[in-house]
A and B are shown apart, each in its own frame.
Chain A
Amino acid sequence: MTKGMLGLLAGLLISAAAPSMANDSVKAITSDAKQWGMQLGNYSGNRYSELNQINKDNVGKLQAAWTFSTGVLRGHEGSPLVIGDVMYVHTPFPNIVYALDLNNDGKILWKYVPEQKPEVIGVMCCDTVYRGLAYADDTIFLHQADTTLVALDAKTGKVKWSVVNGDPAKGETNTATVTVIKDKVLVGISGGEYGVRGHLTAYNIKDGSMAWRAYSTGPDKDMLVDPEKTTVLGKPIGADSSLKSWEGDQWQIGGGTTWGWLTYDPDLNLIYYGTGNPSTWNPSQRPGDNKWSMTIMARDPDTGMAKWFYQKTPHDEWDFDGVNENILADIDIGGKPRKVLVNFDRNGFGYTLDRETGELLVAEKYDPAVNWATKVEMDPNSDQYGRPQVVKEFSTEQNGEDTNSTGICPSALGTKDQQPASYSPKTKLFYVPTNHVCMDYEPFRVSYAAGQPYVGATLSMYPAPNSHGGMGNFIAWDAAEGKIKWSLPEQFSVWSGALATAGDIVFYGTLEGYLKAVDSETGKELYKFKTPSGIIGNVFTYEHGGKQYVGVLSGVGGWAGIGLAAGLTNPTEGLGAVGGYAALSDYTALGGTLTVFKLPD
């Protein structure tokens, strides 16, 4: 393929020059559609493939080509990588890595089983998921649950180096993948429900030494913020922006963890990621905007210095954890081509921002059920510019401690959680797996103890009332207009990452275990197949021996498995509705399996 040749050629040319950068190998691989080199498909986070052998006319004939059991029961998020003739498969805790030989029916070339203390399981909120491996320069990067980052020789599985990023005794754990940018590997941290202070850390891939660390909260020097040069909605951020937004030292146990995805624009030399919820879930215990939790951050990957921030949910009152991926795309807005990033936040708003300046272009609800805010203020002259306009009835802060606020949409699961969306440059549409769940939320006072949950709110969740009764939708989104193009109702939350392809199809998985393919223009269902367990993994594709394959990890779990296994009931519909909504446990059971699909020979 021309594109693959060009990618390879570019890689060779650059690697001849000095100094060589690891992301040259990443760029070469991700521009070759035959390989699946990153969890999000490419640096832009598009989860889009140019492969079109499988297309909307023949996808109905898809069949299972081969399967592989991971030997692990817990929730399987993320996806394998395909580098050349080898597929690299990861598992949840204990975070096993398998290298499978695609030339030899998936024979196991090597297997790496890290040693981790099981105590870490007890401080992992919401399952021991792991969102997958990263690759660069013949090295596989494994980020274990206990925050140990390991560089493995991709050919042998031998450890090159390892470094520890956090302390599970304080509730610091890992669930996220890492991202290789230039000569560094960028690493986040989990533990917002334990009062962990979030940070993003860059390690030099040569030897694992730390290059920089940028905290989400605290003094400017800790956050790698320049009071004059770092901007927020076009204006300088000013001195002590975080410290002024917390009471006392609360920022030290204030969350803002970084367990989501990271994207990168090589031309602008900027990385993008989100920070999570402030701790605790009781908003009355942490007055102020709680900066910079719930924030999209743009930074220079070489130094970590912040270019711009945008806080989506100041002073969170609902656990709308702001870590979701920022998808980079070049689209026309108001007739003008713009370099944008698109973020489907947990809070139910789909944001489109200029990714160079952080200017807010579009902020609209991507589920009509969203009710906690009327809108995001778009007038730059308003003192509310960029802030969601909170509805008093659904404000858990205004209603106060020990008061149950009811009927809030979305729930703490968010309209979308970690499950990554897809962008097709062909249709210019975003394909978004969503939750359609609302909640009651009652905050109350809690005390902090290191390494112990620091939650402080009672939640009840239920399917969005007065809708189709299901708990999810799969939607196509126009990020220029901020409008839903089509929406497919699903019985359960769609907790699987989407994949769009040049074959005019979009794939996603469901919690019952179906892999589905739909028409990328119309949403018409073209194919479905029930895999061995519920799908919370991300669909991926590759080509081998002249044939296109599509794969996905099954293995129900994650927060979806915890929240939905027993089914959700709507208290406002009375006792008659109890049990009226199907329980996920009626459809599927635990078990990690990879299923790979192809067209008939």
Chain B
Amino acid sequence: MKAVAPVLAFALLAAGSSLAENPPNVAAVRNDGVRWFNSDDVPTYKIGEDGTVDWPTFSGFRRYHAECHVCHGPDGEGSTYAPALKKSALALNYYDFVGVVAGGRQKVNAAANQVMPSFGTNRNVMCYLDDIYTYLRARGTDAIPRGRPAKKEAKSDAYTAAEKSCMEG
């Protein structure tokens, strides 16, 4: 099965050591109709003054709590089994983050038995990876609290079209 995400090849090329951004570049400067981007053209969240969460970030909350939380714990907080992704999403740059999810990662030695499987062929994850990424960055920067976001924007037509093309493409 071929990898779902077109960004995968790029992500692997770009994968390498990276330092945590300080402060994280989360300001939304551009919207392509589907989602917001920061000044580095990397997906980011946008939270309104009344707490309204952009649709993709809300979608990230949903997808995280289906695909990720059974290992990484609720709200990106981590567990006894796997690390807190709200921190990983700030410590890794976007391309490394995508690379780890798509390709997997292993830390297996005398002290650790941690295996992140590869999700590169899983549409339920890869089609929503940008959503999950911005959700986790919103959690990591405390832009949204734990739990289900109370207010969210409606799903746009452009988002619906992009989702359909990824899930069925």
Report Cα–Cα, A566/B61, bound state, in Å.
17
In the complex, chain A residues whose CB is within 8 Å of the CB of B108: 118, 121
Counting chain A CB atoms within 10 Å of each CB, which of B66, B69, B73 scores highest? Answer: B66
A118-B74 contact given A94-B113, A452-B121, A453-B124, CB 8 Å threshold:
no
A460-B65 contact given A118-B115, A557-B80, A557-B81, CB 8 Å threshold:
yes
CB of A121 within 8 A of CB of B114, answer: yes
- Binary interface encoding of chain B residues 54-69 relative to chain A, with 1 for a CB under 8 A from any of its CBs, else 0: 0000000111011101
Question: Which residue on chain B has the smallest CB distance to residue A573?
Answer: B147
A562-B123 contact given A575-B145, A578-B147, CB 8 Å threshold:
no
Is A590 an interface residue, CB under 8 A from the partner?
Answer: yes
CB of A565 within 8 A of CB of B147, answer: no
Is A51 an interface residue, CB under 8 A from the partner?
Answer: no
CB of B117 within 8 A of CB of A126, answer: no
The contact of B81 among A446, A453, A561, by CB within 8 Å, is A561
Q: Nearest Cβ in chain B — how far from A412, in angstroms? A: 10
Report Cα–Cα, A557/B79, bound state, in Å.
8
CB of A461 within 8 A of CB of B114, answer: no
CB of A459 within 8 A of CB of B67, answer: no
- Binary interface encoding of chain B residues 110-129 relative to chain A, with 1 for a CB under 8 A from any of its CBs, else 0: 01111111110111110000
The contact of B69 among A72, A93, A459, by CB within 8 Å, is A459
CB of A452 within 8 A of CB of B147, answer: no
Is B1 an interface residue, CB under 8 A from the partner?
Answer: yes
Report Cα–Cα, A3/B73, bound state, in Å.
48
Is B148 an interface residue, CB under 8 A from the partner?
Answer: yes
Report Cα–Cα, A88/B121, bound state, in Å.
41
CB of B148 within 8 A of CB of A128, answer: no
Q: Nearest Cβ in chain B — how far from A572, in angstroms? A: 9
CB of B146 within 8 A of CB of A449, answer: no
CB of B113 within 8 A of CB of A458, answer: no
CB of B113 within 8 A of CB of A93, answer: yes
CB of B167 within 8 A of CB of A442, answer: no
Report Cα–Cα, A446/B117, bound state, in Å.
18
Report Cα–Cα, A526/B148, bound state, in Å.
41
Name B8-23 residues within 8 Å CB distance of A: none
Size category of the binding interface on chain B: 35 or more
The contact of A404 among B70, B74, B122, B148, by CB within 8 Å, is B148
Question: Which residue on chain A has the smallest CB distance to residue B116?
Answer: A122
Is A569 an interface residue, CB under 8 A from the partner?
Answer: yes
Counting chain B CB atoms within 10 Å of each CB, which of A74, A458, A569, A575 scores highest? Answer: A458
Name B73-126 residues within 8 Å CB distance of A: 73-75, 77-82, 84, 104, 106, 108, 111-119, 121-125
CB of A460 within 8 A of CB of B121, answer: no
CB of B123 within 8 A of CB of A556, answer: no
Report Cα–Cα, A392/B144, bound state, in Å.
31
In the complex, chain A residues whose CB is within 8 Å of the CB of B147: 460, 569, 571, 578
Question: Which A residues are within 8 Å of any B CB, using their own CB?
Answer: 72-75, 93-94, 118-119, 121-123, 125-128, 193, 281, 404, 440, 442, 444, 446-447, 449, 452-453, 455-461, 556-557, 559, 561-563, 565-569, 571, 575, 578, 584-585, 590
Question: Which B residues are within 8 Å of any A CB, using their own CB?
Answer: 1, 61-63, 65-67, 69-75, 77-82, 84, 104, 106, 108, 111-119, 121-125, 145-148, 167
**A-B interface, 5 closest residue pairs, ranked by CB to CB distance from nearest:** A122-B117, A561-B80, A566-B77, A121-B115, A562-B79
